[in-house]
Chains A and B, each alone.
Chain A
Amino acid sequence: MNAPHESGAAHPLSRRHLTLPDYVVQTWAIFVAAYRELNARKLFWVALLLNGLVIGAVAAVGIDEKGISVFGYELGIPGVTTRTFPDGQLYKVILSALGVGFWLSWLSTILALLSTASMFPDLVTGGVDTMLSKPIGRGRLFFTKFATGLLFTALQVSVFALLAFFVLGIRGGVWELGIFVVVPLMVVFFSYLFAVQAVVGAVTKSPIASVIVTLLFWIFIFLVHSGEQFTLVGRTASGLEIAGIEAKLDSLKTEEAKEGLRKPLEEQRAADENWVLAHRIFFGVKTVLPKTTETAGLVTRALAVAADIGEEEDAEADDENARRQRGFFRSQFVTERKLRGAIEEEMAKRPVWWVVGTSFAFEVVLLTLGAWWFRRRDF
């Protein structure tokens, strides 16, 4: 216990302002402690194991010019060959649908939320006094702690991406570096939900409450998304139907023939107003909320999974599908292909910055409120 300041020299840690190396030392220490916390949690290793199993399952699928197989056992599914799925497309589809759409977007995220649930309640109940007595600002502590909470997902998804990269390369013959885009995108995806969990956890000091509120919030944004998509389909179909009726009216020569279509046109226009209003409401609400589904969907876009795989085969069945769907939308002029094309066009109009930017805006506002509360509290 030597005391260097005894000699009258300034204390080695004496300073008027913190410097960049000071920030680095503190931030690194918090991240290392967070990593040790994850390491100590069984759930982290369970999730990592499940990651390996998911990728192992994808790797077990084989495809050649004859068909598809699992662990070398031919499944005998017609049409699924390297001709229809060239250049590792099958693996991309499976990784996108199963790996990202199901595993990373749902199960892995729930495991991550459970694993990190106690992080903020622990911060405000256990070690907060010792931490705040150190030269670290409350705001910085809050945001750094939040960033360490993303470590779980970052590590899990990095392992997933690395394994997927090798599966695509070895089994699919495509060395797709683009697969690594899944890491930032899934971290961003998780951060939307973790922001809610962090703020609720800090305020309520309860890990259980933070998980429940976050899951309920997730369900809520999923319902809003579903509502928005449903009303988008309705609005688009309605618009196409109106356009179809109007085109038909133009093509008709006699007034008697036209008269039969005027009433349906009026009815369709009235219905269209309702669809437009309903969609506008859902879209407005959705705009200010995090867009989890779309963010996960960006991975699919990045993986360049061709949306029109099997398009030729579908085309033949299209009229039948369209006829079946007309009952629902009372449509005479909208085919499924037209509808799908119009919706895809609409969705493509929503750029990445809108998806991520508006979601981030929500996250930033929420975290700023959380940090403001944390800065003002007495512990």
Chain B
Amino acid sequence: MGATIAAHPLQRDGRPTLRLMVADARSQESDGSTAIDLVDVTKMYAGRVHALQGVAMRVPRGEIFGLLGPNGAGKSTLVKIMTTIVRPTTARGTILGMPIGHRPTLSRVGYLPEHHRFPAYLTGRQCVEFFGAMGLMRCAERHRRAAELLDVVGMGAWGDRRVGTYSKGMQQRTGLAAALVNDPELVILDEPTDGVDPVGRAEIRDVLLRMRAEGRTVFLNSHLLGEVELVCDRVAIMLKGKVERQGTMADLTHDSRAWRVTIEGAAPAWCAQFGTASTDGSRASIDFKSEDLAVLQSLIDRLRAERIAIVGVRETRESLENLFMRLVRDVDGRASAVGASNVNSAMRAGGSQ
């Protein structure tokens, strides 16, 4: 079966309704390798603010996918559209093979919202069980899962205390347990380590890796680039309502693949044809960008031929943080350029009148 393209049942532009879309989806189910397949997701607030502009994204099953972006990029809006909390202007695509917004499919999705607030009068265990029931789990199964998950997130001893007495980190852990209670195939986590101490963050990272090992798909929305870099197989970077880049870490940093060869003594003059040479004390480094390993080999061969001692050869790639910052600057630059161009056009237009 080919790619699944289905409209959100709640979208506002008069496209097909839920019943039609469910029927439609029967003939459009994906091949099962894709957990999230967004083709065109748009959200316009109050008829003017474009929160999302034709977002397309593909998240393979069994991977941890990181969604990055500065504040206001539209990350949370996208997550909320996938979980039916926000109504899209248009939304074509599927979640777990069914159209976005197909309600029964949500029983196979776990979601931890950013700044979530659980009812203070419930205990942690009751909270987890309550959301299990909302996710259609039967009584005995949700009792068992709640007990198991509270232990997993380190809240076993606190499970019978009211949520109102919990710290932010404890609430976050409980929220993670609630997101996992229905044994979801897809887990969407919006800033899961928000308010959690470094030890707790490491534990949550372990939980994420365990989820991947169990074959679940994790969709991680986070500001913390380092965290994303540590656990994610794939990343999408959203800026101003658009996906600027997406792919594996290797794909994203592919263009930035570079080599650093460090030698004893000064770099010979011919090294300039390979790259930039720099000296640091008694050693020198030659940095160059190349995808072709033959270039590296030829440099090493020539250095050895001249009996220059090679101290080290290291592959370097741009960090996710650098890539992210570069993209943000690029987009801001483009926006400024467009803005300036618009101003100039306006001035020209004004001048010509």
Q: Which residues of A pack against B, CB within 8 Å?
A: 1-6, 11-18, 22, 25-26, 28-30, 32-33, 36-37, 39-41, 122, 125-137, 376, 378-379
Contacts and interface: CB of A to CB of B under 8 A. Distances in A.
Given A3-B215, A3-B216, A4-B183, A25 B133 contact: yes
Given A1-B148, A130-B116, A135-B136, 6 more contacts: A2-B183, A4-B183, A29-B133, A40-B162, A127-B118, A134-B106
B201 to A, nearest CB: 18
A135 B103 CA distance: 5
B85 A378 contact: yes
B164 to A, nearest CB: 9
Contact of B121 (A3, A16, A40): A40
Interface stretch (B107-115, B227-235, B247-255, B259-267): B107-115
Contact of B85 (A39, A41, A129): A129
Nearest to A25: B133
Contact of A136 (B103, B130, B139, B214): B103
Nearest to B207: A1
A26 B133 contact: yes
A133 B103 contact: no
Nearest to B98: A16
B161 interface: no
A45 to B, nearest CB: 14
A2 B214 CA distance: 7
A40 B165 CA distance: 14
Given A2-B214, A33-B119, A135 B104 contact: yes
22 contacts: A1-B149, A1-B180, A1-B211, A3-B214, A13-B108, A22-B136, A25-B133, A25-B137, A30-B134, A32-B130, A33-B126, A36-B122, A41-B121, A126-B119, A127-B117, A128-B85, A129-B85, A129-B111, A130-B178, A132-B83, A133-B109, A133-B188
A300 to B, nearest CB: 37
Contacts, number: 133
A123 to B, nearest CB: 10
Contacts of A40: 121, 162
Interface of B: 22, 26, 45, 80, 83-87, 103-109, 111, 113, 116-119, 121-122, 126, 130-131, 133-139, 148-149, 152, 162, 178, 180, 182-183, 185, 188, 207, 210-211, 214-216
A6 B117 contact: no
B138 A15 contact: no
A127 B130 CA distance: 12
Query: Which of B83, B84, B149, B180 has the largest count of A CB atoms less than 10 A from its CB?
Result: B84
A13 B122 contact: no
B326 to A, nearest CB: 32
B134 A134 contact: yes
Contacts of A17: 22, 104
Nearest to B62: A6
Contacts of A131: 134
Given A129-B116, A132-B84, A134-B131, A1 B136 contact: no
Nearest to A129: B113
Query: Which of A11, A15, A130, A376 has the largest count of B CB atoms less than 10 A from its CB?
Result: A130
B87 A13 contact: no
A295 to B, nearest CB: 31
B182 A37 contact: no
Given A3-B216, A135-B106, A378 B136 contact: no
B137 A13 contact: yes
Contact of A11 (B113, B162, B183): B183
A5 B185 CA distance: 7
Given A1-B152, A134-B135, A18 B122 contact: no
Contacts of B207: 1
Contact of A25 (B106, B117, B138): B138
A6 B62 CA distance: 10
Contacts of B83: 129, 132-133
Contacts of A12: 183
The 8 closest A-B pairs by CB, nearest first: A29-B133, A40-B121, A133-B83, A134-B134, A126-B117, A3-B214, A13-B107, A133-B111
Nearest to B97: A14
Given A15-B107, A33-B119, A126-B119, A136 B113 contact: no
Nearest to A14: B108
A18 B104 contact: yes
A129 B84 CA distance: 9
Query: Which of A127, A135, A137 has the largest count of B CB atoms less than 10 A from its CB?
Result: A135
